[in-house]
Structure 1
Amino acid sequence: MAAPLPYRLLSLDDWRALPEDSAGRTELMEGVLMMSPRPRLRHADASVSVILQLAPQLPTELKVVAEVEVDIDVHYPPTVRVPDLLVCRRDIGDRRSLDPADVVLAIEIVSPGSRRTDHVVKRSEYEEAGIPFYWIIDLDHEPVLTALALTDSGYTATIATHDYLCDKPFPARIDLSALIA
């Protein structure tokens, strides 16, 4: 980063004032700046494959986008996450960040070092924020998609290993083998 970071928890204003950083990926977790390396080629290829498969299946009012900030909790100390991919309304406009209510589906592709964050921490955060659907795609060995749907009692999971077919939040089919081709 070009500017020195403060030695305290960051506010949402502090977060917004940080310069862009191309060296890695940054998120804010309860006021703490979290940095991770840029995704590897396999991760990037899988992201593109999901976009290419998902985009033509979306209803016209929805779109799939990559690496957009979501203000999970704006209260101090704030949490801002950047899902690998998300589906939101097409008319959302050009904003730096989205509210959880704007997100129809958040998608994380597990990277080395993000397994616990994606499966435990983000799952809990997205659930508490009310994000209705969350997919976790794990590329280890054979690809596995854990599809989480928000119910009154929390997320319920469906696990797929070859093809994933769903009706909600929209009818779709994801060929998981294509993610590692």
Structure 2
Amino acid sequence: MTVEMHWPDHLLTLEDWIALPEDSSRSYELVEGVLVVSPRPVSQHQRAIWRLAAQLEPQLPSTHGVLTESEVLIDASPLPTIRVPDVLVVLEAGIDANQPRWDAADVLLAVEILSAGSRRTDRVTKFFEYADAGIEHYWLVDLDKPTSLAAYHLIDGDYELAAEQSGRMTVDLAGTGITIDIAALTSSRTDR
């Protein structure tokens, strides 16, 4: 039996967004009230999300934690923008409070893993949205060989490139040196 879902045919408010039915078959974001639907990440993308989160978490100070695919309220206007970065670093207190979504001001780091269909959005649109919202650090991971990471830091309202490379890199995240084995995000376990 096929169940027919009826999706909104109008610009959404935050209340409309919250009332949407649960659906884990696709990825959803809200951009100025427009519902944006895309396919779920494929296997290598999912592996990279998980492995990056696993590398980040133990290196963070106890005041911060890592989440994957959590909602971030970028713009709370009547026609809101809600993004769902692949990886977030946020305050541990908010995780303990079990927040359903995060205000951009409470996000230390947002990470997007580039994939077909998202490259321009991640490199251009989200780059400016996250900066405008005040997210202090933004990382872009490119899974094309060699896998690379570009780390940006917000300075005077604009992102400036702090580091970009493949292999291993150490980057400052709020006064803490974080080392990432970038190649390990995509390598098979037999290659390590």
Same fold (TM over 0.5): yes
SS at match of 1:65: strand
Which runs of structure 1 show a deviation greater than 6 angstroms over 4 or more consecutive aligned residues?
none
Q: Matched residues in 1 for 2:168 and 2:185: separation?
A: 11
Is the CA contact (8 Å cut-off) linking 1:107 and 1:136 kept in structure 2? Answer: yes
* Alignment match of 1:172 (pick from 168, 171, 178): 178
> Within 2, Cα distance between the matches of 1:28 and 1:125?
13
Q: Is the deviation greater in 72-81 or in 151-160? A: 151-160
Could you say what the CA RMSD is over the residues aligned between the two structures, in angstroms?
1.3
**1:79 alignment partner in structure 2:** 81
Q: 1:141 aligns with which of 136, 145, 150?
A: 145
Give aligned pairs, total. Answer: 181
CA distance in 2, matches of 1:114, 1:175: 23
Distance in 1 between residues matched to 2:53 and 2:172, nearest whole Å: 18
What is the SS of the residue equivalent to 2:115?
Answer: coil
Mapped partners of 1:149, 1:45: distance in 2 = 25
Task: State how 1:81-100 maps to structure 2 within 5 Å.
Answer: 81-92=83-94, 93-100=97-104
Residues 109-160 of structure 1: per-residue CA shift (max 9 Å, x gap): 1111110011111111100000000101010121111111000151001312
Cα distance, 1:168 vs structure 2? 2.5
Report the 3-state secondary structure (helix = DSSP H, G, I; strand = E; otherwise coil) of the residue aligned with 1:167. Answer: strand
- State the shift of 1:96 in Å: 1.0
- Aligned pairs (5 A) from 1:106-117: 106-117=110-121
What CA distance in whole angstroms lies between the structure 2 residues aligned with 1:42 and 1:96?
Answer: 27
- Structure 2 letter corresponding to 1:132: E
Counterpart contact for 2:131–2:157, Cα < 8 Å: no
Long gaps (5+) in structure 2: 188-192
Contact 1:2 1:19 in 2 (8 A): no
Q: Tell me the distance in 2 between the aligned counterparts of 1:153 and 1:76.
A: 24
In structure 1, C-alpha distance between the alignment counterparts of 2:8 and 2:172, rounded to whole Å: 46
Q: Larger radius of gyration, structure 1 or 2?
A: 2
Identity %: 45
Asked if 1:69 corresponds to 2:71, the answer is yes
Structural mapping, 1:17-96, within 5 Å:
17-92=19-94, 93-96=97-100
Superimposed CA distance per residue, residues 35-89 of structure 1 (whole angstroms, 9 cap, x where no aligned partner) = 1111111011111111111111111111011111000001021100011110011
Distance 1:2 1:128, change over 3 A: farther
TM-score norm. by structure 1 comes to 0.96
| 1:4 equivalent in alignment to 2:6 | yes
